[in-house]
Amino acid sequence: MLKFLIPLILFLVMAVFLAIGLQRDPSHIPSPLINKPAPVFSAPKLTAPQESLSPKDLHGQVWLLNVWASWCSTCREEHPVLNLLAQQQVTLIGLNYKDKAEDAFAWLQQGGDPYRISIMDNNGKIGIDWGVYGVPETFVIDKKGIVRYKHIGALTFESIQQTLLPLIAQLQSETP
């Protein structure tokens, strides 16, 4: 009896591992920044390059950092979702990654500007500090300035309903 059970048990164990593994995308790299303080930067604002923004300016509120670029086609898919987030009064900060200011302006004029503030990272150094490897990426930072979540790839209506908006609501209720 045991002789027939052992292969069956082995198969079931393998099937469980395969089922878990097939639901994951192996190219998605988990961020080592989760539950760590947001990497420091001082970036010029797109609309006012002589002014700059850094994470400590946003202390006390829950905010999202969305890494985007005018040359990124996937960002187009994500844009309507960002517009929806902006309508929901979510503080969206845009990190314009390795882009030119005039292209960024043209893009925002075309699709609408969902960002509270857009900042520029022309040489990609801020991107390296945040572990950005593919555009678009979105980070959620809490009131204390701790990175709590990273979404890799384009945001979808489904993902914001299921994950992002509930997380933001939860973080809003935390004390700063």
- Where on the chain is the footprint of another protein (CB under 8 A)? 27, 29-33, 39, 98, 123-125, 127-131, 133-134
Cis peptide before 49 (omega within 30 of 0): no
Q: Are 159 and 151 in contact (CB under 8 A)?
A: yes
Q: Quickly list H helices, 30-163.
A: 74-87, 101-111, 125-129, 157-159
Q: Between residues 84 and 152, which has the closer beta carbon with respect to another protein?
A: 152
Give 170-174 contacts, CB < 8 A, sequence gap 24+: 171/62, 171/140, 171/142, 171/143, 172/62, 174/142, 174/143
Our CB check for another protein shows the closer of 133 and 157 to be: 133
Least distance in Å: CB of 70 to another protein?
Answer: 15
- Min dist. Cβ of residue 65 to another protein (A): 15
Instruction: Give 15 or 128: the residue with its C-beta nearer to another protein.
Output: 128
Q: 138: which residues sit within 8 A by CB, 6+ positions away? A: 64, 65, 66, 67, 150, 151, 155, 164
Residue closer to another protein, measured from CB, 63 or 97: 97
- CB of 57 vs another protein, minimal distance in Å: 22
| Minimum CB distance to another protein, residue 131 (Å) | 4
Query: Nearer Cβ to another protein, position 12 or 29?
Result: 29
Residue 53: CB minimum distance to another protein, A = 20
